């Protein structure tokens, strides 16, 4: 195997290791419809005892909860099923059902961050209502809210379940079997129902995908500007400015691994040429994205630090890399974050032969530090 292929496949393996944990299998507990009806009722009834408990990040009760902590504890203590601890992991654990099939004991998921990732979960209790732990607003903590409220309706993503369907009239409206418990909870959250925008799990207003699952409403656009750098050349070890790049990118937030397409325009000062990578990407969560694709070259590149040693880009395989971003902050309808990526671009000798390992690695491996601006498309539709 040539040196350039060895470097490329080594880097690809590293990215594969990052992706594999995201591809966990969905799970569903096996039981009869009758058993499911009883189990779901236990789950719903047990959850209501925590109404009024305060919100605490990382809390799993019994005195305080965050949203996933409430679901985690209620499931474990009421029916003996231990779910994953985080909202995203719970989402991956469950299987999706349509809104028409939704019944009490299912889980409702919401997207409330700029990443378009699943960020909030509640337990559906019937009649379009769900119990959850809210972190912001005048009615924080464990409350009952309605899927018909404007805020939750616009941020709703899907319903999932880990318990089989009950096919039972008992759970069409679980409120009828425990009206007194719910009424006491409803009183504590009545102002949340009338002011839904103040009851949510994030500390700022969000603009991400809502209840409509249309393609356009699930698109998220972003653009970045970065300074490129490296620490080595084929001949010496020191900080090197490798130029700058700008990128435009679109991704579809309707999947666990969010697929996307992007295009860069990059000036590589080390090789003194312009590159146009066209990449396919997978955004795994709010902070990690991997990408790969062909590279179009403009100009005649040379080995960094040696203008007499001409080289050329490989069109394909062209580039492979990973981008890591910070939590974002909101500016108007956009979300701004800082981004750090590491990418490897394949270069060859002018005759197409592979360069030596050291030359290939030090020429192709570049880091980029910059800023990313994200715009959920449904915020302007």
Dist. CA 291–CA 128, nearest whole Å: 40
First-last CA distance in the chain: 50
Tell me which of 132, 155, 249, 302 is the catalytic residue: 132
Tell me which of 94, 120, 158, 302 is the catalytic residue: 120
Give, for 293, the enclosing helix (H) or strand (E): strand 288-293
Q: How many residues does the chain have?
A: 381
What is the CB neighbour count within 10 angstroms for residue 290? 22
Dist. CA 200–CA 334, nearest whole Å: 19
Tell me which of 67, 94, 249, 343 is the catalytic residue: 67
CA 111 from chain centre, in angstroms, equals 9
Helices 357-364 and 3-19 cross at an angle (nearest 10°) of: 50
The angle subtended at Cα 303 by Cα 369 and Cα 351, nearest 5°, is 125
Q: Clarify whether 302 is annotated catalytic.
A: no
Dist. CA 358–CA 363, nearest whole Å: 8
From the list 125, 141, 120, the residue with the least C-alpha distance to 191 is 141
CA 299 from chain centre, in angstroms, equals 37
Dist. CA 150–CA 154, nearest whole Å: 6
The residue behind tokens 């393609």 is 215
Q: Is 301 within 8 Å of 307 (Cβ atoms)? A: no
Encoded tokens for 345: 């671009």
Dist. CA 356–CA 348, nearest whole Å: 9
Q: Name the residues annotated as catalytic.
A: 67, 120, 132
């Amino acid at each position: 195997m040539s040196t350039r292929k060895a470097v490329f496949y080594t880097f690809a393996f590293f990215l594969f290791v990052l992706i594999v944990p995201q591809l966990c299998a969905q799970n569903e507990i096996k039981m009869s419809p009758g058993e499911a009806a009883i189990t779901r009722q236990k789950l719903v009834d047990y959850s209501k005892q925590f109404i009024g408990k305060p919100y605490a990040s990382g809390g799993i009760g019994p005195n305080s909860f965050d949203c996933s902590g409430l679901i985690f504890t209620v499931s474990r203590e009421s029916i003996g099923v231990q779910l994953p601890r985080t909202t995203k992991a719970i989402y991956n654990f469950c299987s999706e059902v349509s809104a028409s099939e939704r019944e009490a004991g299912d889980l409702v998921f919401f997207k409330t961050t700029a990443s378009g990732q699943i960020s909030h979960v509640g337990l559906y209790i019937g009649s379009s209502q769900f119990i959850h732990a809210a972190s912001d607003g005048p009615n924080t903590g464990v409350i009952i809210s309605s899927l018909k409220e404007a805020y939750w309706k616009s941020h709703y993503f899907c319903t999932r379940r880990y318990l089989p369907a009950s096919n039972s009239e008992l759970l069409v409206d679980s409120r009828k079997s425990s009206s007194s418990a719910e009424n006491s909870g409803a009183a504590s959250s009545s102002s949340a129902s009338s002011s839904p925008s103040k009851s949510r799990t994030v500390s700022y207003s969000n603009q991400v995908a809502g209840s409509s699952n249309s393609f356009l409403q699930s698109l998220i656009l972003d653009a970045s500007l970065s300074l490129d750098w490296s620490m080595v050349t084929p001949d010496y070890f020191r900080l090197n400015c490798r130029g700058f790049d700008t990128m435009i990118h679109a991704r579809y937030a309707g999947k666990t691994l969010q697929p996307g397409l992007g295009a860069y325009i990059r000036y590589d000062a080390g090789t003194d040429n312009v590159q146009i990578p066209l990449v396919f990407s997978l955004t795994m969560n709010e902070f990690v994205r991997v990408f790969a694709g062909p590279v179009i070259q403009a100009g005649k590149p040379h080995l960094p630090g040696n203008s007499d040693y001409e080289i050329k880009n490989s069109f394909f395989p062209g580039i492979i890399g990973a981008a890591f971003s910070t939590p974002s902050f909101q500016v108007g309808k956009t979300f701004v974050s800082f981004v750090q990526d590491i990418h490897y671009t394949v270069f060859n000798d002018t005759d197409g032969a592979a360069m030596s390992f050291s030359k290939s690695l030090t020429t192709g491996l570049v880091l980029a530090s910059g800023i990313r601006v994200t715009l959920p498309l449904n915020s302007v539709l």
